[in-house]
Amino acid sequence: MPLLINRIFHLAPIAIAAALCWLLPGSAAAGQPNIVVILTDDQGYADVSYNPHHPREVSTPNIDRLARSSVICTAGYTSGHVCAPTRAGLMTGRYQQRFGIYTAGEGGSGVPLSETFFPLHLKEAGYTSGAFGKWHLGVDIKYNAMHRGFDEFYGFMGRGAHDYFDLVTADHPIYRGLEPIRDKGYLTDRITEEAVSFIKRHKKKPFFAYIAYNAVHAPAQAPAADIRKETDDPARNVLMAMLRSLDAGVGKIVDTLKAEGLFDNTLLFFLTDNGGSKAMHANNAPVRGYKEEDYEGGIRVPFIVSWPAKLKGGTTCDVPLMSIDILPTALAAAGAEMIGKLPLDGRNILPALAGKADRIHEQLYWSSAGGKGAWAIRSGKWKLVGLKDKLELFDLEEDKGESNDLSGKNPAQVGKLKTLHDAWLDKMAEPANGAAKRWNAKAPSPGQKNKRKSREEKKKLREERKAKRQAGEKPGE
């Protein structure tokens, strides 16, 4: 039966949506669902209190309430271990490496305009789309969310971090649409307020709300009244205050959907963009590692899916899923045709969420290209992690914490997974930053190249100034 279901759900999106009427519980006459994606930033795997491994200072009652009425995806992954690559993959439904995005710097500089973003697929199906919060997919105005299919945008376009209180910084402005604005307030609260306003204003027709909080990303800033001495770690105490504001925001969004009679027929995804940050003192228990690593702590994240009209709440899904699956799943639910000819790597995960499929992907892949030399592949229970010339193999069914490297005992499995990853990487684009796809001990990293270039340019400038002084010219002439 799972094999049959998987085949059915690889049909065209409209056929898939029709199939949902008999495959999933709920009314077939409910109409197109609203689509809401809540993406948090650098939130730890155990920095949600529905995770039984959470430390005692963590309390997220609103996220927990959502989780209790949703499907909790226990093997939900992001396509990147840092912010911008994950966002690029989520917005396109494709591995971001297909268009050269391997690092945060590349993604933050801009996703190629040839890529089709999430809201463009939904527009023909009658959806109004709004983006709120952190964009991190291009700093130039041509990469603004309004130029990628969104009808409304409130947020910041710059790099990964933004001050939470200073919302009028000239070189890092808050935008409304295409125009920078002067705003005030605590940024987490302002993102919530803008998202709630959008939902209320567009409640009569189907909408897509992409709510991308920058909380709990650095800088560590929270209203002073919210910071409590909950631990002996001052940084952790600030993080908890930031988390409370984030949790309150999620609660207000869910409560608004319920008050407007929209919640049952809203397909809502809640996840974070990568593993919790070590620099911000996040907690990723019980998995290993942090943001910027391909161990589970860098890529396995809190991942919740709610759609009461079609999915049974209070359940779990153990099937490995990825953030690139959100777009094709939304299209299937909306009965929307994909536009353009670029193939999606993501899959419709509704069968897995309904307990009708035990596998969505044969393999899941990660790569940060040769500059860092970090990559990974998961196939079934097996996961191979590569870092430069080091390879580690883990059985995730027996060892979710990746504490027991089995590469020495299973060389055939290592070879098989490495061959699969190599074949996948061969199909990906060259890194946009000029790095090699694969790590090479003899090749300098892009950072080393840039430092060398900078030193050479400074040396040349000093020599030119010296020559001018010797010729009797002023340095500025």
Catalytic residue list? 83, 136
How far is CA 304 from each of CA 67, 68, 70, 162, 191, rounded to the nearest angstrom?
A: 6, 10, 6, 26, 20
Start-to-end CA distance of the chain, whole Å, equals: 79
Rounded Cα–Cα distance for residues 412 and 144 (Å): 47
Instruction: Read off the tokens for 431.
Output: 């890194």
Report the C-alpha gap between 191 and 250 in whole angstroms. 11
413: nearest Cα among 363, 373, 453: 363
CB 245 within 8 A of CB 188: yes
Helices 61-68 and 234-259 cross at an angle (nearest 10°) of 50
- Work out whether strand 76-77 and strand 321-322 pair parallel, antiparallel, or are unpaired: parallel
Report d(CA 363, CA 428) in Å as an integer.
15
Structure tokens at 342: 């670029």
**Distance separating alpha carbons of residues 314 and 301, to the nearest angstrom:** 18
Alpha carbons 376 and 350: distance in angstroms, whole number? 25
> How far apart, in Å, are the Cα atoms of 272 and each of 172, 178, 296, 304, 441?
23, 26, 13, 10, 33
CA distances to 26, 378, 417 from 362, rounded to whole Å, are 29, 9, 12
Residues 6 or more apart from 383 whose CB is under 8 A from it? Answer: 376, 377, 393, 394, 396, 402
Question: Per DSSP, what are the bridge partners of residue 15?
Answer: none
- Helix 13-23 and helix 326-334: axis angle, to 10°? 70
Under DSSP, is residue 296 helix (H, G, I), strand (E, B) or coil?
helix
CA-wise closest residue to 195 among 249, 259, 150: 249
Compute the distance between CA of residue 30 and CA of residue 420 in angstroms, rounded to an integer: 42
Q: How far is CA 133 from CA 240, 313, 385, 441, 470, in A?
A: 20, 28, 32, 39, 54
Q: Which of 446, 384, 368, 438 is nearest to 416 (CA)?
A: 384
